[in-house]
A = this chain, B = another copy of it.
Amino acid sequence: MAVKRGHSNCIDTVKPLRDALDVINGKWKLPIIVSIGVGNDRFSDIRDSIPGITPKVLAKELKDLEEHKLIKRTVVGGYPVQILYTSEAYADSLTPVVYALKEWGLNHRSKIFSAE
């Protein structure tokens, strides 16, 4: 009888990975965090800084991010009423994630272009 090999345990990495993905998964969340991080604080500026995003999607993602305490929504009176979105300090903790993904994306794109 063949030796029964159990599967290697990777649960200690997979679990936190899943915890992170549950929060920042999706096409738009990190781009929005970056946009706000570089200083876009109004709805229309964020919208215009991210190619392809629609107001519906942006509104929904902003709510999600606010719930996760990554951004803050502030109402400023006046004309027209302004809403300011700003990064919470907690969002800074995502910097290593953003940086790693950005570097990988740059490398991936150059790899694809040289191969095809």
Contacts and interface: CB of A to CB of B under 8 A. Distances in A.
Classify chain A: how many residues form its interface, as a range.
35 or more
A31 B16 contact: no
A21 B27 contact: yes
A51 interface: yes
A21 B51 CA distance: 15
Copies in the complex: 2
A97 B93 contact: no
A84 interface: no
Interface in A34-51: 34-35, 37-40, 44-46, 48-51
A38 B14 CA distance: 11
Contacts of A93: 104, 107
